[in-house]
Amino acid sequence: MAFECICRKILIFMCLLTVSIHAFELGTERTFSFVNDVNLYELKLSTSQAIGYRTSGEIKVSTIYEDNEHGFLLRFELLSPQLYMEKFKVQPMDYDEKSSILDKYKKSIFYAYWKAGIIEKSFIKNTKDSSLNNFLRSILSLFQYQLLDTKTTEKDISGTCQVKYVAKSSTKFLKIKSDCTAIEQHERLDQPLGNEVKLTRVTVIETSTLGEIETLHSSDHHQFYINAYKHVGYKVGSIFYLKSDGTIKDCEVIKADNLENAIKTLEGFIETSILPEINFDKSTDVTIVKQLKELKENLSNEKVGKETSALALLKLLQTGRQSKAEDLIRIVNARTTKEIKGQIMDLLAAIQTEESHEAFRSTMNFTNEEEFDNIERYLQSLSVGVLPRESVIKNIFEVLINDNIQNEKLKDTLVQTIASMCKKFTNLPNQSYDSEIVVKFKNFLLESIDSCTNNDCKEIYIRGLQNLQSPNIIDKLVMLALNEPYQISVAAMKALNQFPSTILQGDKKQFESIFYQQKKKFDTSARTIALDILLRLKPETKDIMNFVSYLKSNDPAYEVKQYLVQKLKMLAEKCERFKEILQMVLSSDRKVYNWNNFGALKGLSTALTRKFSQNPSFNGSLISVQEIKGGVLKRGNVDLLLEHEEEKFGIFTLGLFAGGLSSFVSSDEEEVDPDEDTTATAGMELAVQGNYLRPLVFFSGQAQLMGHVWSGTASEPTSAYQGITMLQDHKQVFALNNGAILDFSSLGAMSMDLNGKIEISLWYKNANIEVVQNMGLALLSTLSVKSPLISSKIELSITQEPQINLASKVDFSSKTAICMQLTQPNINLTQKINRYVDIPESKKVKALRQEVNLKYKIPGYTHVLNQKNNDMCNAITSE
What does the binding site for ligand NAG look like in residue numbers (CB under 6 A)? 229-230, 294-295, 298, 308, 365, 367-368, 429-430, 615, 618-619, 644, 826-828, 855
**CA dihedral (317, 322, 326, 327) positive or negative:** negative
The length of the chain in residues reads: 879
**Shortest distance (Å) from residue 734 CB to ligand NAG:** 16
Residue closer to ligand NAG by CB (options 268, 429) is: 429
User: By CB neighbour count within 10 A (0-12 exposed, 13-18 middle, 19+ buried), where does 677 fall?
Assistant: middle
Straight-line distance from the first to the last Cα atom of the chain, in angstroms, rounded to the nearest whole number: 90
Residue closer to ligand NAG by CB (options 39, 619) is: 619
Nearest one of 725, 655, 652 to 696, comparing CA atoms: 655
**Shortest distance (Å) from residue 618 CB to ligand NAG:** 5
Residue closer to ligand NAG by CB (options 181, 200) is: 181
Partnered with residue 154 across adjacent β-strands are 161
Residue closer to ligand NAG by CB (options 569, 644) is: 644
Phi and psi at 136, nearest 5°, equal -65, -40
Residue closer to ligand NAG by CB (options 126, 828) is: 828
CA distance 173 to 165: 7
Cβ–Cβ < 8 Å for 640, 653: yes
CA distance 205 to 218: 8
Q: How far is CA 789 from CA 97, 110, 431, 603, in A?
A: 15, 18, 41, 72
**Shortest distance (Å) from residue 775 CB to ligand NAG:** 13
Q: How far is CA 352 from CA 325, 357, 376, 594, in A?
A: 12, 7, 16, 56
Residues 6 or more apart in contact with residue 331 via CB below 8 angstroms = 288, 289, 292, 337, 344
**Shortest distance (Å) from residue 617 CB to ligand NAG:** 8
CA distance 735 to 140: 14
**Shortest distance (Å) from residue 406 CB to ligand NAG:** 11
**Shortest distance (Å) from residue 303 CB to ligand NAG:** 8
Within a 10 A sphere around the Cβ of 123, how many other Cβ atoms?
21
DSSP 509-561: HHHHHHHTTSSS---HHHHHHHHHHHHHS---HHHHHHHHHHHTS--S-HHHH
Residue closer to ligand NAG by CB (options 193, 625) is: 193
**Shortest distance (Å) from residue 63 CB to ligand NAG:** 37
Cβ–Cβ < 8 Å for 424, 385: yes
Within a 10 A sphere around the Cβ of 247, how many other Cβ atoms?
8
**Shortest distance (Å) from residue 430 CB to ligand NAG:** 4
Helices 524-536 and 486-497, packing angle to 10 deg: 20
> What three-state secondary structure class fits 89?
coil
User: By CB neighbour count within 10 A (0-12 exposed, 13-18 middle, 19+ buried), where does 509 fall?
Assistant: exposed
Cβ–Cβ < 8 Å for 304, 311: no
Q: Would you give the distance in Å from CA 18 to the centre of its chain?
A: 51
DSSP 414-438: HHHHHHHHHHHHTTSTT--TTSHHH
Residue 340 DSSP code: G
Q: How far is CA 363 from CA 307, 341, 380, in A?
A: 28, 11, 17
Residue closer to ligand NAG by CB (options 549, 826) is: 826
Residue closer to ligand NAG by CB (options 357, 635) is: 357
**Shortest distance (Å) from residue 195 CB to ligand NAG:** 12
* Angle at alpha carbon of residue 142, lines to 96 and 24, rounded to 5°: 95
Residue closer to ligand NAG by CB (options 179, 294) is: 294
Residue closer to ligand NAG by CB (options 218, 619) is: 619
**Shortest distance (Å) from residue 126 CB to ligand NAG:** 28
Q: How far is CA 680 from CA 92, 318, 632, 659, 814, in A?
A: 77, 48, 12, 6, 21
**Shortest distance (Å) from residue 470 CB to ligand NAG:** 21
**Shortest distance (Å) from residue 864 CB to ligand NAG:** 20
Residue closer to ligand NAG by CB (options 104, 186) is: 186
CA distance 350 to 319: 12
- The continuous run of DSSP H or E covering 653 comes out as strand 647-659
Residue closer to ligand NAG by CB (options 310, 709) is: 310
User: By CB neighbour count within 10 A (0-12 exposed, 13-18 middle, 19+ buried), where does 77 fall?
Assistant: middle
**Shortest distance (Å) from residue 360 CB to ligand NAG:** 13
Residue closer to ligand NAG by CB (options 368, 713) is: 368
Nearest one of 64, 57, 51, 53 to 25, comparing CA atoms: 64
**Shortest distance (Å) from residue 367 CB to ligand NAG:** 4
Residue closer to ligand NAG by CB (options 490, 804) is: 804
Q: How far is CA 541 from CA 413, 580, 585, 763, 800, in A?
A: 43, 10, 8, 50, 43
Residue closer to ligand NAG by CB (options 294, 373) is: 294
**Shortest distance (Å) from residue 229 CB to ligand NAG:** 6
Residue closer to ligand NAG by CB (options 105, 397) is: 397
- The continuous run of DSSP H or E covering 224 comes out as strand 213-226
**Shortest distance (Å) from residue 563 CB to ligand NAG:** 28
**Shortest distance (Å) from residue 353 CB to ligand NAG:** 17
**Shortest distance (Å) from residue 112 CB to ligand NAG:** 27
Cβ–Cβ < 8 Å for 541, 548: no
Residue 707 DSSP code: I
Residue closer to ligand NAG by CB (options 310, 415) is: 310
